[in-house]
Amino acid sequence: MEPLLDHLTRLEETLFDPAVRLSRAALEALLAPDFQEIGSSGRLFSFEDIIMALSAEEPVMSRTLHNVRLVMLSVSIALVTYSSTRKTVDGVAINSLRSSVWRQENDGRWQMVFHQGTLVH
């Protein structure tokens, strides 16, 4: 399971990359067409909603993830949980707890089908 944890951690980190967040093609490779996210605001985002939200996102200095864990829900469904720190251009650190559900597609690729972020105060 360690190689899969490493692989999914890299995919999560890829989604932190500002260039990826602004690229529809990159997001289509990583997010399933039926993707949904529950944002820290409590709002439910569809795939198209998240594409639009990311294109209007405020600049961020850095994002890091910590304490990554993997639980296999089935042979082709993985739950990844972790904490993250986002530093804004003003130097403010924003911490959150995150969970993602990844699905292995028929071609072997892993795509995220669900994500939730909860702010830590």
For strand 110-119 and strand 93-104, is the pairing parallel, antiparallel, or unpaired?
A: antiparallel
Q: What is the pLDDT of residue 77?
A: 98
Predicted TM-score (pTM) of this structure: 0.92
pLDDT at residue 1 tops 70: no
Region 9-17: mean pLDDT is 94
Structure tokens given for 18: 């500002």
The 10s digit of each residue's pLDDT in 50-108 is 999 888 887 777 889 999 999 999 999 999 999 999 888 888 899 999 999 999 999 99
Note the CATH architecture for domain 2-119.
Roll (3.10)
* Distance (Å) of CA 11 to CA 15, 29, 101: 6, 10, 12
CA distance 29 to 26: 5
Q: Give the three-class secondary structure for 4.
A: helix
100 burial via Cβ count (<10 Å: 0-12, 13-18, 19+): buried
Beta partners for 95?
A: 85
Q: Which residue type does 33 have? A: P
